């Protein structure tokens, strides 16, 4: 016998958790860029990689990120608020993930 109500509860919880993590992470990245701290991630070199960036392409991306940071029209106070908002969004993402792990771990040991 399938517990359909349990299935629906798990489905809604998974969708809600996904929306919270992805939404707040996206908002955090947007606020980080608004604060003038454009994240530039140097890609790792993997064997059989589809795309491998050259050193010149990586340097160009870093230069564009620095230029975008200098063109920011926000005041220093607004940049600080955006930075705090970004870190708050990332904190919410981390807490949502930890809460999900907290819900799963007792179930693995037969306690949930």
Instruction: Return d(Cα 78, Cα 109) in angstroms, integer.
Output: 47
- What pLDDT, on the 0 to 100 scale, is given for residue 9? 86
Contact in structure between 79 and 36 (CB atoms under 8 Å): yes
- What pLDDT, on the 0 to 100 scale, is given for residue 70? 72
- What pLDDT, on the 0 to 100 scale, is given for residue 107? 64
Kindly give the confidence (pLDDT) of every residue in the chain, 112 residues in length, as a single tens digit, with 9 standing for 90 and above: 888 898 888 888 889 999 999 999 999 999 998 888 877 776 666 656 566 677 888 788 888 877 776 777 888 899 999 999 999 999 999 999 998 888 878 766 665 5
Tokens of 24: 């707040």
- What pLDDT, on the 0 to 100 scale, is given for residue 42? 65
Tokens of 89: 């969004």
For residue 10, count CB atoms less than 10 angstroms from its CB and return exposed for 0-12, middle for 13-18, buried for 19 or more.
exposed
- What pLDDT, on the 0 to 100 scale, is given for residue 95? 94
């Amino acid at each position: 016998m399938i517990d359909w109500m349990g299935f629906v509860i798990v489905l809604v919880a998974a969708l809600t958790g996904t929306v919270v993590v992805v939404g707040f992470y996206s908002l955090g990245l947007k606020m980080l860029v608004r604060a003038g701290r454009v994240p530039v991630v140097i890609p790792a070199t993997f064997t059989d990689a589809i795309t491998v960036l050259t050193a010149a392409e990586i340097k160009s991306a870093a230069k564009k990120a620095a230029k975008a940071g200098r063109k920011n029209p926000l005041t220093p106070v607004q940049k600080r608020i955006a930075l705090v908002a970004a870190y708050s969004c990332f904190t919410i993402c981390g807490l949502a993930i930890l809460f999900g792990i907290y819900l799963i771990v007792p179930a693995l040991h037969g306690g949930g």
